[in-house]
């Protein structure tokens, strides 16, 4: 018998599978299956989103036939199945539900379109459907764009591990890890988002998106990344456009029945992404960030990537934690950076701080908000009043007006975000790390500081 | 036996013959189901039944099933939009495909290749789907269900809203 795990590519949902069932009166039913989940060598699970005829038939007669398609070659496989049970709680259900939830959330149907059960089947037999597709003509050859094998995985693990271990600060750790993932795995677009007050995630490092992604936010529970943060479970979508189209078809049906569905959240980032993966960065069970990857190629995130990326994600998470623990350790300071040179003032920049939402605009354009906004305002005010340019993380932590949490405050990631936004929007004002836990404010222009209650 | 379902309305005839994805379900009397891809649909004049083409290479089990138990389910789905119906009824004849059927299957495969290309399946693959020789299965329509994923999936048609 063909091994079930040899059909891994058929489980990605790129070409939906087909399931035939029948009731006790021998009336057949045939329908598409949106999600097939490999459990082990003899078992798989199918998603059940609606109470439908398939579900009724399985309760009456456990036998089913599933046809799956290889998305690269379009070869077909017929699997004879026996329905065993439905699971509506537990790890299997959670793992399948989060993917449905991500699609539902993207299409504004969170809470409306959801997984009802993971239906578990025993696989009785597998056969390739001979003659389903004719062999290629002489000279014609299928090009299977599969990623490289285990050597690449191990090399990737080694390379990313080295980057994480050698990183001297959080910024180089995050950017180095993303660059390594591109170099070895070909994940051209990636970002690392970190939690802000447990309500949202903010992008602190990105690769492949230019400057646009830094500072981008997503609410916890919103879209694929927000759901990964909420559930702390990896989500992989191998055919993003197809799954979103499926979700939108359902959304349209709900809209016609008058059910309330929310506004659709636009899919951010790479507009034509076909493969997406989001991995929670966990230290023990605590979320320290989310690694989000995407690319234009389908099938770029193979099952084996999941296992290796989980390992890498653990290393990145540990690295983040390590940086947070040592960033205040001034005694083990890094070599001091050269003091920033003062650039002759050329122009005046207007910074406006809005107290109601801790938001800072520069020359009328949004710059940053929340804790990083308050930090910027604090250091700019200190510079204006005292011409101070040297600051420490410790004094920021001790300042109650900044609203940093007492433990695990993500201060370093907030400073990275602030530093990068300044580089993008007003390079005349820079935050330059000088040694561990300290930084200098480097001003190359005249400042005008304005404080307002609201916009 | 006369069909219990009113004739397919014109918009569903157009839909069924429009190159949509065709999934065919059968089962024998021991309740072992089977599925196979259809390679063309022709709605009868009067729209009380249809003929679905099944490639001989992949349809052996399905043909054996309908000879044992003449019940058939045909799911028709527009791939880009997921708009879907399922037709169920009784098989009244199974015959070998003729020249007209072969021509229909060839045209159908080309249209299907267009739809699958829309969702990223290379036409070079789809155009190699086996279509010949084929069986032509005549089905008397007894009931039609809406099958578009969502709250009305599985509801008998015509729907109150008149939509799939």
Segment A205-252, tens digit of pLDDT: 888 877 667 888 888 887 778 888 888 888 877 666 666 666 666 666
Which pLDDT belongs to residue B160? 42
- Under DSSP, the state recorded for A7 is G
CA–CA gap between residue A69 and residue A119 (Å, rounded): 20
Higher pLDDT, A259 or A232: A232
Q: How many CB atoms lie within 10 A of CB A277?
A: 23
Task: Identify all chain A residues contacting B129, using CB atoms and an 8 Å cutoff.
Answer: 74, 132-134
CA–CA gap between residue A167 and residue A413 (Å, rounded): 14
CA–CA gap between residue A116 and residue A174 (Å, rounded): 38
ipTM confidence score: 0.94
Higher pLDDT, A236 or A431: A431
Partnered with residue A280 across adjacent β-strands are A290
Which pLDDT belongs to residue A334? 45
Q: Summarize the confidence of residues A323-339 as an average pLDDT.
A: 52
Higher pLDDT, B27 or A318: B27
CB A70 within 8 A of CB A16: no
Residue A361 CA, distance from chain mean position: 28
Which pLDDT belongs to residue A145? 32
Q: Which residues have CB under 8 Å from A133's CB, separation 6+?
A: A73, A74, A75, A76, B125, B128, B129, B130
What is the band of A108 on the pLDDT scale with cuts at 50, 70, 90?
low
Which pLDDT belongs to residue A218? 83
Question: Which sign does the torsion angle of CA A212, A320, A166, A189 carry?
Answer: negative
Interface touch A26/B147, C-beta < 8 Å: no
**Strand A275-283 to strand A235-237: parallel, antiparallel, or no bridges (unpaired)?**
antiparallel
The mean pLDDT of chain A is: 80
Task: Identify all chain A residues contacting B27, using CB atoms and an 8 Å cutoff.
Answer: 20, 22, 26-28
Q: How far is A67 from chain B (nearest CA, A)?
A: 7
Task: Identify all chain A residues contacting B32, using CB atoms and an 8 Å cutoff.
Answer: 63, 65, 80
Q: How many CB atoms lie within 10 A of CB A388?
A: 13
Which of B4, B25, B116 would best serve as a mutation to test chain A binding (most A beta carbons within 10 A)? B25
Encoded tokens for B159: 């729907």
Lowest average pLDDT, out of A278-287, A430-439, B3-12, goes to B3-12
Interface touch A253/B120, C-beta < 8 Å: no
Interface touch A133/B82, C-beta < 8 Å: no
In this predicted model, what pLDDT tens digit does every residue of A356-395 receive, in sequence order? 888 999 998 888 888 899 999 999 999 999 999 999 988 9
What is the band of A266 on the pLDDT scale with cuts at 50, 70, 90?
very low
In this predicted model, what pLDDT tens digit does every residue of B83-118 receive, in sequence order? 899 999 999 999 999 999 999 999 999 999 888 776
Which pLDDT belongs to residue A301? 65
Task: Identify all chain B residues contacting A80, using CB atoms and an 8 Å cutoff.
Answer: 32
Which pLDDT belongs to residue A46? 94
pLDDT at A351 over 90: yes
What's the whole-model pTM score?
0.61
Which pLDDT belongs to residue B27? 98
Q: Which residues have CB under 8 Å from A354's CB, separation 6+?
A: A360, A361, A452, A453, A454, A455
Partner residue opposite A18 with nearest CB, options B23, B27, B83: B23
Burial of A141 from C-beta contacts in 10 A (0-12 / 13-18 / 19+): exposed
Which of B31, B32, B117, B120 would best serve as a mutation to test chain A binding (most A beta carbons within 10 A)? B31
Which of A63, A133, A253, A257 would best serve as a mutation to test chain B binding (most B beta carbons within 10 A)? A253
Lowest average pLDDT, out of A115-119, A131-135, A349-353, B123-127, goes to B123-127
Q: How far is A109 from chain B (nearest CA, A)?
A: 11
Which of B4, B21, B27 would best serve as a mutation to test chain A binding (most A beta carbons within 10 A)? B27
Encoded tokens for B153: 């999936």
Which pLDDT belongs to residue A264? 39
CA–CA gap between residue A309 and residue A313 (Å, rounded): 6
CA–CA gap between residue B98 and residue B100 (Å, rounded): 5
CA–CA gap between residue A172 and residue B105 (Å, rounded): 59
Q: Which residues have CB under 8 Å from A165's CB, separation 6+?
A: A319
Distances (CA, A) of A311 to A156, A188, A323, B95, B141: 11, 19, 19, 58, 55
Nearest CA in chain B to A33: B149
Interface touch B37/A71, C-beta < 8 Å: no
CB A125 within 8 A of CB A79: yes
Q: How many residues does chain A have?
A: 455
Q: How far is B46 from chain A (nearest CA, A)?
A: 25
Helices A411-425 & A170-185 angle (0-180, nearest 10)? 80
Task: Identify all chain A residues contacting B152, using CB atoms and an 8 Å cutoff.
Answer: 253, 257
Q: How far is B159 from chain A (nearest CA, A)?
A: 11
In this predicted model, what pLDDT tens digit does every residue of A274-317 receive, in sequence order? 778 889 999 888 899 999 888 777 656 666 667 778 878 888 88
pLDDT at A129 over 80: yes
Q: What is the dihedral of CA A21, A27, A32, A37, to 10 degrees?
A: -10
Nearest CA in chain B to A72: B121
Which pLDDT belongs to residue A312? 82
pLDDT at A177 over 80: yes
Which pLDDT belongs to residue B72? 98
Buried-state track A394-415, b at ≥16 Cβ within 10 A, e below 16: eebbeeeebebeeeebbbbbbb
Higher pLDDT, A112 or A409: A409
- Under DSSP, the state recorded for A266 is P
CA–CA gap between residue A23 and residue A41 (Å, rounded): 28
Lowest average pLDDT, out of A142-146, A340-344, B45-49, B101-105, goes to A142-146
Q: How many CB atoms lie within 10 A of CB A300?
A: 24
Q: How far is A105 from chain B (nearest CA, A)?
A: 15
What is the band of A343 on the pLDDT scale with cuts at 50, 70, 90?
low
Nearest CA in chain A to B78: A249
By C-alpha distance, which of A373, A393, A366 is closest to A170? A393
What is the band of B55 on the pLDDT scale with cuts at 50, 70, 90?
very high
CB B43 within 8 A of CB B16: yes
**Strand A446-452 to strand A348-354: parallel, antiparallel, or no bridges (unpaired)?**
parallel
CA–CA gap between residue A189 and residue A352 (Å, rounded): 33
Q: Where are the alpha helices (DSSP H) in B90-158?
A: 99-118, 123-126
Which pLDDT belongs to residue A329? 47
Higher pLDDT, A96 or B103: B103
Question: Which sign does the torsion angle of CA A243, A248, A249, A255 carry?
Answer: positive
Partner residue opposite B148 with nearest CB, options A21, A241, A249: A249
Encoded tokens for B160: 């109150």
In this predicted model, what pLDDT tens digit does every residue of A7-37 receive, in sequence order? 887 887 667 899 999 999 999 999 988 789 9
pLDDT at A123 over 90: yes
Task: Identify all chain B residues contacting A254, using CB atoms and an 8 Å cutoff.
Answer: 150-151
Lowest average pLDDT, out of A61-70, A336-345, B121-130, goes to A336-345
Task: Identify all chain A residues contacting B26, using CB atoms and an 8 Å cutoff.
Answer: 20, 28
Which pLDDT belongs to residue A150? 45
What is the band of A333 on the pLDDT scale with cuts at 50, 70, 90?
very low
Interface touch A131/B32, C-beta < 8 Å: no
pLDDT at B42 over 80: yes
Which range has highest mean pLDDT (A184-193, A229-238, A323-332, B133-142)? B133-142
In this predicted model, what pLDDT tens digit does every residue of B116-144 receive, in sequence order? 776 667 788 889 999 999 999 999 999 99
Encoded tokens for A186: 């070909």
Which of A20, A124, A141, A242 would best serve as a mutation to test chain B binding (most B beta carbons within 10 A)? A20
């Amino acid at each position: 018998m063909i091994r079930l795990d040899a059909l891994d590519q058929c489980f990605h949902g790129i070409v939906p599978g087909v399931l035939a069932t029948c009731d006790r009166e021998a009336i057949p039913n045939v329908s598409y299956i949106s999600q097939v989940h490999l459990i082990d060598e003899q078992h798989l699970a199918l998603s059940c989103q609606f109470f439908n005829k398939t579900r009724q038939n399985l309760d009456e007669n456990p036998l089913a036939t599933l046809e799956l398609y290889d998305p690269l070659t379009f070869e077909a496989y017929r699997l004879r199945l026996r329905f065993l049970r439905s699971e509506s709680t537990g790890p299997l259900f959670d793992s399948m539900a989060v993917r449905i939830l991500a699609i539902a959330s993207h299409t504004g149907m969170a809470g409306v379109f959801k997984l009802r059960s993971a239906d578990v089947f025993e696989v009785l037999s597998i056969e390739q459907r001979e003659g389903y597709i004719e062999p290629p003509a002489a000279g014609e050859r299928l090009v299977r764009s599969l990623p490289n094998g285990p050597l690449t995985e191990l090399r990737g693990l080694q390379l990313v591990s080295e980057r994480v271990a050698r990183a001297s600060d959080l910024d180089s750790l995050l950017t180095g890890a993303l660059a390594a993932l591109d170099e070895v795995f070909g994940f051209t677009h990636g970002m690392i988002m970190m939690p802000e007050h447990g309500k949202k995630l903010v992008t602190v490092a990105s690769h492949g998106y230019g400057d646009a992604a830094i500072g981008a936010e997503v609410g916890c529970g919103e879209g694929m990344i927000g759901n990964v943060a909420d559930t702390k479970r990896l989500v992989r979508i191998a055919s993003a456009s197809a799954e979103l189209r499926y979700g939108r078809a359902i959304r349209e049906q709900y809209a016609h029945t008058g059910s309330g569905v929310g506004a659709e959240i636009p899919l951010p980032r790479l507009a034509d992404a076909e493969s997406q993966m989001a991995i929670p960065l966990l230290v023990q069970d605590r979320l320290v960030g989310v690694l989000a990857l995407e690319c234009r190629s389908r099938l770029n995130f193979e099952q084996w990537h999941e296992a290796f990326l989980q390992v890498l994600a653990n290393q990145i998470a540990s690295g983040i934690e390590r940086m947070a623990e040592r960033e205040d350790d001034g005694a083990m300071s890094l070599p001091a950076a050269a003091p920033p040179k003062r650039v002759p003032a050329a122009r005046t920049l207007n910074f406006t701080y809005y107290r109601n939402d801790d938001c800072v605009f520069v020359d009328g354009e949004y710059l940053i908000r929340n804790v990083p906004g308050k930090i910027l305002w604090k250091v700019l005010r200190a510079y204006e009043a005292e011409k101070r340019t040297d600051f420490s993380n410790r004094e920021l932590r001790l300042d109650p007006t900044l609203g940093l949490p007492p433990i695990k405050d993500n201060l370093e990631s907030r400073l990275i975000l602030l530093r990068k936004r300044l580089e993008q929007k007003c390079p005349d004002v820079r935050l330059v790390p000088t040694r561990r836990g300290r930084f200098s404010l480097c001003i190359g222009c005249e400042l005008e500081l304005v404080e307002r209650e609201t916009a | 036996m006369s069909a219990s379902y009113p004739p397919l309305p014109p918009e569903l005839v157009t839909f069924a013959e429009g190159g949509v994805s065709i999934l065919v379900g059968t089962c024998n009397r021991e309740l072992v189901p089977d599925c196979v891809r259809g390679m063309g649909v022709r709605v009868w004049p009067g729209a009380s039944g249809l003929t679905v083409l099944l490639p001989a290479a992949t349809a052996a089990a399905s043909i054996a099933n309908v000879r044992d138990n003449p019940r058939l389910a045909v799911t028709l789905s527009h791939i880009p939009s997921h708009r879907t119906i399922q037709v169920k009824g009784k098989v009244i004849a199974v015959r070998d495909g003729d020249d007209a059927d072969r021509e229909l299957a060839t045209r159908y495969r080309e249209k299907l290749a267009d739809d699958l290309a829309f969702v990223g399946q290379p036409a070079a693959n789809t155009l190699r789907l086996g279509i010949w020789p084929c069986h032509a299965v005549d089905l008397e329509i007894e009931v039609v269900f809406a099958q578009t994923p969502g709250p009305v999936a599985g509801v008998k048609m015509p729907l109150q809203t008149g939509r799939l």
